[in-house]
Amino acid sequence: MSFSHRDRRAQRALWRLLGGIGVGTLVLSVLAMFGPEVALGLGALAGLAALGWVAMLAGEEAVHDYSHDLRTAAAGADSDGFVRAEVRSDVGLERPVGLPSTRSPNVRPPVRAPDRIPSSAASH
């Protein structure tokens, strides 16, 4: 199964969301456990509850936007806002590449700058 640009974008967005939630959870958990004051620990616990609520809402919104985008494109309806396009190639560029987060086989390698002589070595 080949993955489209839309699939890769949705997966990146969800991984960023998961990473942010993980970091926030770690920070608030450490603060709740090792905070110098009881009020700070209780505030961190309330922050954890709020973070969980925000995580559920943000995840649901991301999945809803992705599924709505797919349904709109499949129905052939006009897209409002940012235009998204899916392109299928008849010249064999559609190759299975594994997971959506893996690098596309169609990406050009980066251009390397020529090796330079350090300025301190050139003056001697």
Q: By three-state DSSP, how is residue 63 classified? A: helix
- 22, two tokens: 């993980």
Sign of CA dihedral 9, 2, 101, 108: negative
Q: Which helix (H) or strand (E) holds 27?
A: helix 5-34
Residue 107 and residue 5 in contact, taking contact as beta carbons nearer than 8 Å:
no
> Domain residues of the chain, as ranges?
1-76
Q: Band of the pLDDT at 1, cuts 50, 70, 90?
A: very low
Residue 82 and residue 69 in contact, taking contact as beta carbons nearer than 8 Å:
no
The pLDDT tens digits of the residues spanning 48-88 come to 999 999 999 998 998 888 888 778 777 777 665 555 555 55
Q: What is residue 81's DSSP assignment?
A: S
Q: For residues 11 and 112, which has the higher predicted lDDT (pLDDT)? A: 11
**CA 4 from centre of chain:** 15
- 40, two tokens: 């700070």
Residue 40 and residue 48 in contact, taking contact as beta carbons nearer than 8 Å:
no
The pLDDT score that the predictor gives to residue 49 is 95
Is this prediction's pTM over 0.85? no
Asked whether the predicted pLDDT for residue 91 surpasses 60, the reply is no
